[in-house]
Amino acid sequence: MPVGVVSDPIFREHDTGPYHCEVGERLAAIDQAISRWDGREALEFMPLRPAREQELATVHHASQLRRVAGTAGRSVSLDPDTVCSPRSCEVALLAAGSLIDLCDAALSGEVDNGFALVRPPGHHATSTRSMGFCLFNNVAAAAAHLMLNRGLERILVVDWDVHHGNGTEDIFYPESRVLYFSTHQSPMYPGTGQVSAVGQASAKGRTINVPMPPGLGDREHLQAFERLLLPVARQFRPQFILVSAGFDGHREDPLGGMMVSSAGFAAMAQRLTEISQEFCPGRVVASLEGGYNQAALGRSVVAVLEALAGRRREDELIAQAAQTDPSTWVDRAMEAAKHYWELP
């Protein structure tokens, strides 16, 4: 079964200008890396389609949708970091809608896992605000679709971007059907993602944040997966796994201060495919978020695609992480989560 991929030159038409770091050349670097990959025959490139207003209205207020729609045909800044060009709204609609269709393809068994190589990214967009390079929250819209239109009751969202996905957390903070798990650098933009943020009402325990100081790498991130995410996920029993796949935690990235390698990202993806095999085979779908060293981004995306296709295993790296002395930062997150989950 092929791995589904959303990729098209139109996603480069969201023009952020000559001095922005979130640029269309990021996708060109990914395309070049995939073209050199000997496993590219395992990919099936999926058709595009724009998200419908009612699909986005499940996670965004009408005023937010109107504000983004009002940028069509114009060059305008929504905040100091988030700019729109004349085609940005069109491109953002295609990003969200194509991710939803990719999830449907994975759910139906048409593809085995998937990766939406789209922009603009999404995980900072809240229900009322575009921010942090993000117009619509692509992953949130996909999760809402799976719940409301496909009847799923347990969706795991994993966010390994170096920045906390404040928008995704905010949208699903009271939602017990979504388990949101984030590893991120702290302190860092947008300043959210504290360990104490665990969800509200019946969703308490459904938000798990692992904020980490700069300088940490593969072992610490994999410890968060091994010691915290895996035991919680096995109790949650996800029916679908969505990934906010940012690669700005890479050790070569100019924005972040983390030390994750391409192999580290592959190991995290491998762990998610293993959870998927237990509870929801073939239903791991990633959506591109950050990553601003273009060479490192291309290598990391291919490494994750290899893991999603079952062509790459990082067992030695995972074993090393398990043997490393426990991380204080993971311990703190476990202390908050143990009130809601059984942890070793």
Which residues form the catalytic set?
Answer: 124
Q: How much of the chain is helix, strand and coil, in % rounded to 5?
A: 40, 15, 45
DSSP, residue by residue, 56-108: HTTTS-HHHHHHHHTTTTS-EEEETTEEE-TTHHHHHHHHHHHHHHHHHHHHH
Which residues lie closer than 8 Å to 137 by C-beta, 6 or more apart?
59, 60, 122, 123, 124, 125, 126, 167, 168, 171
Do 148 and 57 meet the contact criterion of CB atoms below 8 Å apart? no
Supply φ then ψ for residue 133, to 5 degrees.
80, -5
Maximum separation of any 2 CA atoms in the chain, in Å = 55
**Angle between helical axes of 262-279 and 294-308 (0-180°, round to 10):** 30
Residue in 164, 155, 203 with CA at minimum distance from that of residue 183: 164
**DSSP single-letter state for residue 163:** S
Query: What would the two tokens of residue 32 be?
Result: 């070049």
